[in-house]
Amino acid sequence: MKCRKCGGGAAVELRRHNAAFCSPHFIDFFRKQVAEAIRKHRMFTRDETIMVAVSGGKDSLALWDVLIEDGYRTTGLYLDLGIFEYSVESREKCEAFAARRGQPLLVERVADAVGASIPEVQKVTRRPTCSACGLSKRYLMNKVALEHGYPVVATGHNLDDEAATLFGSVLHWQMDALPRQSPALESTHPQLVRRVKPLYRLSELETAAYAFLRRIDYIVEECPFAKGATSLGHKDLLNRLEEASPGAKHNFLFGFLDKARPAFERQEALGLRACASCGQVTTSEICAFCKLADQVRRRAPAEGTESARP
């Protein structure tokens, strides 16, 4: 196999593009896809400082790397979920990355906000672990960005992530989730920062190749709570479709964005208002995060309090 650009030995084959690239030209291809995502969805400008939500995994660190190399002003945000060794190690990866690149990194502990670490939250809520965790992360990203005055949060969601989420929403025809499935969610309220996913055009395999070729030191383990998660099952199914028909994932996601999403966009604006408890934006009186935090508070009293009551 030869590089499509220079004819040299190829390092990465991209079946869905029916192409292969040598290492430098793959890196070039990757960065151009990110640039195209930013341009097409007007994700941010060069005047803005971008808060990059990093988990220590390949996707978010690859994203941060691309943005730094492209000259954007960035700040990392690491949310410490308190998931034992996994969180310790992933935080170290983020801190080492930030230090090497001379970039600021904010660290926030989920336990400080919700009242308990994710493993403890899991015990008191009937939500699936990934659901309570995702809710907490989205809430905190927005809160921290607002507090520090960042206009936009970028996350490392890739094509596989987005296709799997869409697949889940479509299987249940979640009419609330479908119009919100987008590479860029505009701020529709002063208390809501823009959320963007500059890697949505790149597959998981491609971000892994980029991280490898760029020698990014990332945490390889999956979150221990992700085992058996529905989204992983959906990724498996989509990989089978992709195997049989390269480009299937791409067509599924991009076809939705181009053709079907407009049909789902709700005509009426959602009635957004301030949460009566925390002041962040919600559609009900109390936001979902505060409800979760309240549940944690009521069912898992801190040590040394009256937890032993019969």
Binding site for a second copy (CB under 8 A): 170-173, 175, 178, 233, 237, 240-241, 244, 248, 251-252, 255-256, 258-260, 263-264
DSSP element (H, E) containing 107: strand 105-109
Angle (CA) 104-209-257 rounded to 5° is 80
SS (H, E, C) 262-288: HHHCCCCCCCCEECCCCCCEECCCCCH
Nearer to a second copy, 130 or 170 (CB): 170
Nearest distance from residue 263's CB to a second copy, in Å? 4
Nearest distance from residue 111's CB to a second copy, in Å? 32
Nearest distance from residue 253's CB to a second copy, in Å? 10
Given the structure tokens 């008191």, which residue do they identify? 124
Nearer to a second copy, 151 or 247 (CB): 247
CA distance 65 to 51: 13
**Residues 6+ away with beta carbon under 8 Å from 108:** 77, 78, 79, 80, 140, 144
Strand duo 105-109 + 73-80: pairing: parallel
Nearer to a second copy, 178 or 288 (CB): 178
Nearer to a second copy, 31 or 250 (CB): 250
Map residue 122 onto helix, strand or coil. Answer: helix
The DSSP output letter for 14 is E
Nearer to a second copy, 172 or 215 (CB): 172
Nearest distance from residue 256's CB to a second copy, in Å? 6
Nearest distance from residue 167's CB to a second copy, in Å? 9
Nearer to a second copy, 71 or 262 (CB): 262
Angle between helices 58-69 and 23-40 (to 10 degrees): 80
Nearest distance from residue 59's CB to a second copy, in Å? 24
Map residue 9 onto helix, strand or coil. Answer: strand
